[in-house]
Amino acid sequence: MFGIIRPCRHRLSERLQSSWMAHLCGLCLALRDDHGQLARTATNYDGLIISVLVEAQAAREDASWRRTAGPCPLRGMRTASVARGEGARLAAAVSLALASVKIRDHVEDRDGVFARRPVAAGARAVTRRWDRQSAGSASTIGFDTGVLLEAAARQGALERSLAPGGSVLLVTEPTETATSAAFAHTAVLAGRPGNAAPLAEAGRLFGRLAHLLDAAEDQAADAEAGAWNPLTATGTDRAEAERLCRDAVHGIRLALREVELTDRALVHLLLAHETERAVDRVFGPAAHTTACRTRNAGPGSPAASAAGEHPNDAPPRQAPPGQDPGQAPIPPWVPQGPGFGPIGEKPPRPRNLLAGCAVWALMACSCQLLCCDHNDPFSRERREGWCQRHDCDCPDCCDGCNGCDCCNGCDGCDCCDGCDCGCDC
Q: What span, in angstroms and rounded, lies between the C-alpha atoms of 138 and 131?
A: 11
Report mean pLDDT in 10-residue bins for the chain, 425 residues: 74 87 92 90 90 88 76 79 90 92 85 86 93 91 89 84 85 93 94 95 95 92 86 92 96 96 92 94 75 52 46 47 51 42 59 80 67 72 61 46 42 42 44
> What is the reported pLDDT for 247?
97
Residues 6+ apart with CB under 8 A from 406: 416, 419, 421, 423
Residues 6+ apart with CB under 8 A from 347: 333, 381
Q: Which long-range contacts (CB under 8 A, 24 or more apart) does 356-365 make?
A: none
CB atoms within 10 A of CB 60: 11
> What is the reported pLDDT for 279?
95
What pTM, to 2 d.p., does this model score? 0.73
> What is the reported pLDDT for 210?
93
Amino acid 19 reads S
| Strand duo 374-375 + 382-383: pairing | antiparallel
6: left (phi over 0), alpha (psi -120 to 50) or beta: beta
Q: How far apart are the first and last CA of the chain?
A: 28
> What is the reported pLDDT for 362?
76
Structural domains of the chain sorted by starting position, each given as residue range(s) with its CATH number in brackets: 9-287 (1.10.600.10), 353-389 (no CATH)
